[in-house]
Amino acid sequence: MASHIQVPLPLPVVPDGWAADKDFKATGRLSAATQRGIEPVGPHFLAHARRARHKRTFSEDDR
């Protein structure tokens, strides 16, 4: 999506003693998802179907 959402409130500072390999810590996984049908309509769906059929990611698609 072209324009990015602007969050109004500032990020917190890193707490004292916080440390992580390469500054990134994975602490969880996503909750289970629901299977639903997307409507095969519109330009963005077409892009999705193209990616799905050619097994391409967003960034591959951007190029």
Partner 1 sequence: MTAESVTTTAPAERYAIGIAFGNSNSSIAVTSTDDKAEVIANEDGDRQIPSILSYVDGEEYNGQQAKQQLIRNSGNTVAHFRDFLGQDFKSIDPTHCHASAHPHENNSTVAFTIQDKEGDEKSTVTISEVATRQFRRLKQSASDFSGKQVNSAVITIPTNFSENQKSALIKSAGDAGIEVLQLIHEPIAALLAYDARQESKVSDKNVVVADLGGTRSDVAVIASRGGMYTILATAHDYEFAGAHLDKVLQDHFSKEFIKWNSIDPRENARSLAKLKLESEATKKALSIGNNASFSVESLAEGIDFSSTINRLRYETIARKVFDGFNRLVEGVVKKAGLDVLDIDEVIMSGGTSHTPKIAANFQSIFPESTAVLAPSTTPTAINPSELQARGAALQASLIQEYELEDIEQSTHPAVTTVKHLTNAIGVLSISGEEKKGIFTPIVTAETAVPARRTVHVPVPKEGGDVLIKIVEGGSHIKVTKPELKPKENGNKDDSDDSEEDSDYEPEEQREKIWRVGNVLAEAAVKGTKKGGKVEVMINVAGDLGVTVTAREVGEKGGVRGNLSAP
Of 1, 17, 54, 63, the residue at the interface with partner 1 (CB under 8 A) is 1
Tell me the C-alpha distance between 38 and 2, whole Å: 22
- What would the two tokens of residue 11 be? 């990020």
Of residues 27 and 63, the one with the C-beta less far from partner 1: 27
Does position 27 interact with partner 1 (CB under 8 A)? The reply is: yes
**Which of helix, strand or coil describes residue 53?**
helix
Work out how close the CB of 17 gets to partner 1 at its nearest, in angstroms, rounded to a whole number. Answer: 12
* Rg, the chain, Cα only: 18
Q: Which of 17, 18, 54, 63 binds partner 1 (CB under 8 A)?
A: 18
